[in-house]
A and B are shown apart, each in its own frame.
Chain A
Amino acid sequence: MNWVLIRGVISGTIMYGTPLLYATLGEVVGQRAGMVNLGLEGILLIGASVGFAVSVVTGNSWLGVAAAGAGGAVFNLIYAYLVVNRRANQLASGLTVMFFGMGVSAMLGRAFVGEGIKGLTRYQIPGIASFSWATKTLFSYDLLVYLGIPVALLVWWFVFRTRWGLNVRAVGENPSAAFAAGRRVAWLKYQAVLVCGFLGGIAGAHLSVALARTWTEGMTGGRGFIAVALVIFSKWHPLRAIAGALLFGGAVTFQLQLQAQGSSISPFVLNMIPYAVTLGVLLIWGGARRFAAPAGLGRVYHGEE
């Protein structure tokens, strides 16, 4: 293994892991409030298309990222309405959001196919970057990458160290008890859904605005579902989500590096690696879920009228 390859693997892992981290964190918050949201795939697509479109139109990628976060949050209200107000099945409601996201992003993004943008500016860490040529390329990322771990810490702090987090977790574990204790179950669920949509939108924007710098239909390629799987892997804990995101980022980078090195393995086989790794991780960790999952996860809460 030469230095160039190692460097490529490390920086690729971090770059490709970042959107997964934001998406997984969002889903962690949603599931802590008792809601499995398969619509994350649609949210990512909305974030990617809105973020890219706004970046092209305004010429400012940060506006694009902000719009993507807002768009994801608003879009996720469809899920909240179905699950909280209409008490619909969570998995089917999530798939509704997924279908919406696929269709709306395709219609919205069509006008922007083939456009190019500068993308998010990459910054170097001053001290380390000047150390040598090698570290200079290794520590050059956009701001969303640097913010990844702080955001994970922030989510952890909110979920486990604040009254709000306690309320959200209470709703996820036992909504009836939370209601009896005077918590506003529906409102807390809406808040969790908004956070989930916001982080999902940011994740999608990172894909299109920072990584690909173009828009292609269906460009998320199932990352939303992979994030749902990583939530199980991370045992519903925001800090373990970092490990999950890096694992997936590593799988993607490993595959891309093999392709770049002219590997004789078919690209179709290599493209399976991230999905296969995710399935494998689910199998290994899946058995432990019943000890870590919020008790009210996936249940319909019928209210106390």
Chain B
Amino acid sequence: MMRSSLGSPTRLLRKGWAMAGARYAVILIVALGAYALVLLIAGKDPIQAYADTFSFTLGSRYGFSEVLVRMIPLLLTAIAVALPSRLGLINVGGEGQLYMGAWLATWGAITFTSLPQAAFIPLLIVLGFLGGGAWASVAGFFRARGLVNETITTLLMNYIAPLIVGFFVYGPWRSREMGASAFPQSAAFPSAARLPQFLGTRVHLGLILALVALVAFWFVLDRTKWGLKMKAIGGNPEAARRLGIRLGVYILVAMFVAGGIAGLAGMAEVASLHGRLRAGFSPGYGFVGFLISWMTGGSPVGILIMSFVLAIVFSVGSLLQITQGVPFAAINVLMAIILFVVLARPRLALSTFGRKS
């Protein structure tokens, strides 16, 4: 029931990259066309908007590097949705898990201030993973015990996690550096706790973490017995249970690892880009990650491509906010259109291109 109708990722891979690429292209063209209509109705100039977006993102080295920076949290949160979806679980809590990863990592960074960088970076990775993982495990535990569906719990917990972060940055962790009027944020991370950035851009270690996570995700699911068992559970939980697979353990572990991966995204954001914990630092990365995972049916290659594309799309949001006065939340319309196209027309898009190739 939870499987998307897009076909399994391995089948997509077998049909080849061209096929998958064509499918994503159709989805994107339709979605961008529909969003252009929305912009027109709102009295904006869509062609100018898309031209601006293109030249600001792919047109320069700096713009391109910023796309990669935005891609990092999208990759990680997309994996956090794709992994449990193999079991038929719908994890919509990437946003909350991201916040909790950042929260626990910040605790580490402002507590163990004198560690050397070689010890600090692994510590932050572990803490970020634990923070998000523990948060997601709550939903996983309740689901494994058959108490509550994980979809509704992860959604509700998305509203609690930012409040926890808000409580700490307005309360016990609030920086006093600039007196009482200081912007509510934690103290600055010690320089040893900042993730390294590369080539004079803001692209940081998180990109490598995300790519490692993606490869590990592919390897475990496609090349190990755990992956096979997860597929069996996702395909037919009752049959898997009768074969002696312990469903509860798989659900709990999958949710923990998924939450941990989303937590890494939060940790990387604060430890590299901001250097402090701030309330509301994520503009909804967790939700976009959900979208990417659904669009691609959880295929690792698809996640890589679509994270990149949506990182560009995502920068449309902040760009249009500045140049055309469209509220940032309008980006949700574009995401909704993409999701709509994916849900409404999968067979058409597939069969059209299946016949050609």
Q: Check: B29 CB closer than 8 A to any chain A CB.
A: no
**Which listed residue (B326, B329, B330, B343) contacts A89, Cβ 8 A?**
B343
Residues of chain B contacted by A104 (CB below 8 angstroms): 333
Taken together as a complex, chains A and B put the C-alpha atoms of A87 and B155 apart, in Å, by 23
Q: Does B163 contact A (CB under 8 A)?
A: yes
A91, B90: Cβ atoms under 8 Å?
Answer: yes
Partner of A226, one of B38, B149, B156: B156
Asked if residues B340 and A78 are in contact (CB atoms below 8 Å), the reply is yes
Given A225-B152, A271-B163, A287-B146: A96 and B332 interface contact (C-beta under 8 Å): no
Answer whether A107 and B326 are a contact pair too, CB < 8 Å, given A96-B339, A225-B152, A279-B156: yes
Cβ-neighbour of A286 out of B92, B148, B160, B328 (below 8 A): B148
Residues of B within 8 A of A103 (CB): 329-336
With A96-B340, A107-B42 given, is the CB distance from A283 to B148 under 8 Å? Answer: yes
A38 and B5 contact, CB distance less than 8 A: no
Interface string of A287-304 (1 = CB under 8 A from B): 100000000001110000
Q: Is the CB of B170 within 8 A of A266?
A: yes
Say yes or no for A151: interface residue by CB 8 A criterion.
no
Measured CA separation A91–B152 after assembly (Å): 10
* CB contact under 8 A between A275 and B343, given known A217-B327, A217-B329, A222-B155: no
Chain B nearest CB, measured from A24 CB (Å)? 14
Q: Are B146 and A275 in contact (CB under 8 A)?
A: no
Measured in the bound complex, the distance between the Cα atoms of B35 and A103 in whole Å is: 11
Q: Which residue of the partner chain A has the closest CB to B339? A: A96
Assess whether B343 is in contact with A92, with CB atoms less than 8 Å apart: yes
Total contacting residues, chain B, CB less than 8 A: 48
Please name the residue on chain A nearest to B35 by beta carbon: A103
Chain B residues near A106: list those with CB within 8 A. Answer: 327-330, 332
- Report yes or no: A96 in contact with B336, Cβ–Cβ below 8 A: yes
User: A229's contact among B152, B330, B332, by CB below 8 Å, is which?
Assistant: B152
Secondary structure of the B side of the interface? helix
* Cα of A97 to Cα of B328 in the assembled complex, Å: 18
Chain B residues near A298 (CB, 8 Å)?
A: 1
When distances are taken between beta carbons in the complex, the residues of chain A under 8 Å from B147 are: 282-283, 286-287
Is B2 positioned at the interface, with any CB of A under 8 Å from its CB?
yes
Contact A93 B343, beta carbon cutoff 8 Å: yes
A95 within 8 A of B: yes
Task: List CB contacts (< 8 Å) of B90-107 with chain A.
Answer: 90, 92
B2's nearest neighbour on chain A, judged by CB, is A89
Q: Which of B109-167 contact A (CB under 8 A)?
A: 142, 146-149, 151-153, 155-160, 163-164, 166-167
B282 at the A/B interface (Cβ < 8 Å)? no
- Tell me if A10 is interfacial: C-beta within 8 Å of chain B: no
Q: Which of A105, A222, A279, A299 has the most CB of B within 10 A?
A: A279
Chain A neighbourhood of B331, CB < 8 A: 103
Whether B344 sits at the interface, judged by CB under 8 Å, is: yes
Whether B189 sits at the interface, judged by CB under 8 Å, is no
A82 lies within 8 A of chain B by Cβ: yes
The answer to whether B344 touches A81, judged by C-beta atoms less than 8 angstroms apart, is yes
Restricting to A122-162, which residues have a CB under 8 Å from any CB of B? none
A221 at interface by CB-CB < 8 Å: yes
Q: Would you call B156 and A86 a contact (CB within 8 A)? A: no
User: Whole-angstrom distance from the CB of A142 to the nearest CB of chain B?
Assistant: 27
Cα separation A226 to B157 with both chains bound (whole Å): 11
- In angstroms, how far is the closest chain A Cβ from the Cβ of B282? 14
The 10 closest A-B pairs by CB, nearest first: A103-B333, A103-B332, A106-B329, A99-B336, A268-B167, A88-B343, A100-B336, A286-B148, A102-B332, A96-B339
User: Using a CB–CB distance below 8 Å, which chain B residues touch chain A?
Assistant: 1-2, 4-5, 38, 42, 90, 92, 142, 146-149, 151-153, 155-160, 163-164, 166-167, 170-171, 287, 290-291, 294, 326-336, 339-340, 343-345
Known interface pairs A89-B343, A275-B160, A300-B1; 14 further A-B residue pairs with C-beta atoms within 8 A, sorted by A's residue number: A81-B344, A82-B344, A86-B345, A92-B294, A92-B339, A96-B339, A96-B340, A96-B343, A99-B333, A100-B333, A104-B333, A222-B156, A286-B149, A287-B146
Chain A interface (Cβ < 8 Å from any Cβ of B): 38, 78, 81-82, 86-89, 91-93, 95-100, 102-107, 110, 217-218, 221-222, 225-226, 228-229, 232, 266, 268-269, 271-272, 275-276, 278-279, 282-283, 286-287, 298-300
